[in-house]
Amino acid sequence: MTLLTPPSRSIIKSILSKEQSEGVGAKIRRSIGRPELRNHDPFLMLDEFDSDPTGGFPDHPHRGFETVTYMLEGQVQHEDFAGHKGTIGPGDLQWMTAGRGIVHSEMPVKTETRIHGLQLWINLPKEHKMCEPQYQELRDGQIPRATPQDGVTIKVIAGESYGVKSQVYTRTPTMYLDFRMEKNKAVTQTIPSTFTGFIYMLKGKAYIGDKEFEGKAHHTLTFSEDGAETVKIQTKDEDAHFVFIAGEPLKEPIVQHGPFVMNTDKEIYDTFVDYQYAKNGFERARNWRSTIA
């Protein structure tokens, strides 16, 4: 009897993330959030930042979504108006639920020569948009790894891979996996049938799906939404490093104005009023200034 191999999700779009300026002197490559891929429900934005320590993101607010910062190289300091302060370095994770309101600052440690990492914005469902802010922070050594074979390491930042589960709680069901594959390797990653998702290539080349679509560095590769529950990934003549990100689409209206993401125009207007008058979650913003900017 011949066992049938389940079909893989295919790649339906590949978009190059070009370098642009953001914040104060920071350089980024925007993936999700570009005009060609404005939103990829439930994801609002993915930036690969790669700068020297002169660039950063001084005091700014958020409401209505989560920011996930994953460091690859260098160190970044962060501080918010509630007194939360710290530093994350190579391999570390900060999963920040802005909820009803956060004002914070994210600045590089000045002694570093390179600040390289990813920041993902995940939309929150309507019932969680005004929740209390929360942080989940994990050091590199606290993030579990799956090793399905020699030469393949998968950091399980959120979700599950090869039986290894993350401890991160996701209000919006999310998978976030960091793959490092040596050349001439092949894996099959499972994915819930209802999830949307994409791969963002950091280095090298990977070949995705039954048709072996070639993914190159700094490209965003979006998956088909055909209900298939696997994604086949292989390397050939070179190593590859990429992140695999997928989540349950919210299928709710998105009204975004900069760092505020709500469901209606009125909610955005109310957010501006709350921020301006320091109320309904922004009370501590009135006289706060970060010490790291």
Q: Tens of pLDDT along 97-144?
A: 999 999 999 999 988 888 999 999 999 999 999 999 999 999 999 999
Both tokens of 276, joined, read 């301006």
Across the beta sheet with 93-97, what order do the strands follow? Answer: 19-22, 26-30, 43-51, 115-123, 65-73, 93-97, 134-138
pLDDT value, residue 20: 86
Mean pLDDT of 215-236: 98
Domain parsing of the chain, residue ranges = 17-247
Higher pLDDT: 45 or 3? It is: 45
Higher pLDDT: 39 or 266? It is: 266
pLDDT value, residue 3: 57
> In the structure, what pLDDT confidence band is assigned to residue 155 with cuts at 50, 70 and 90?
very high
Q: Using a pLDDT cut of 90, give the percent of the chain over it.
A: 87
> In the structure, what pLDDT confidence band is assigned to residue 57 with cuts at 50, 70 and 90?
confident
pLDDT value, residue 1: 45
> In the structure, what pLDDT confidence band is assigned to residue 293 with cuts at 50, 70 and 90?
low
**274-282 contacts, C-beta under 8 A, 24 or more apart:** 274/63, 274/101, 275/61, 275/63, 275/101, 280/100, 280/101, 281/63, 281/99, 281/100, 281/101, 281/130, 282/61, 282/101, 282/103
Binding site for Fe cation, by residue number, is 60, 62, 104, 106
Exposed, middle or buried: residue 28 (CB in 10 Å: 0-12, 13-18, 19+)? Answer: buried
With a cut of 90, say whether residue 62 has pLDDT above it.
yes
E strand map for 31-144: 43-51, 57-62, 65-73, 76-80, 85-88, 93-97, 102-108, 115-123, 134-138
With a cut of 90, say whether residue 279 has pLDDT above it.
yes
**Residues 181 and 206: beta-carbon distance below 8 Å:** yes
Query: Quick one: fold of 17-247?
Result: Jelly Rolls (2.60.120)
Both tokens of 80, joined, read 């918010």
With a cut of 50, say whether residue 272 has pLDDT above it.
yes
Rounded Cα distance between 17 and 21, Å, is 13
Binding site, by residue number, is 60, 62, 104, 106
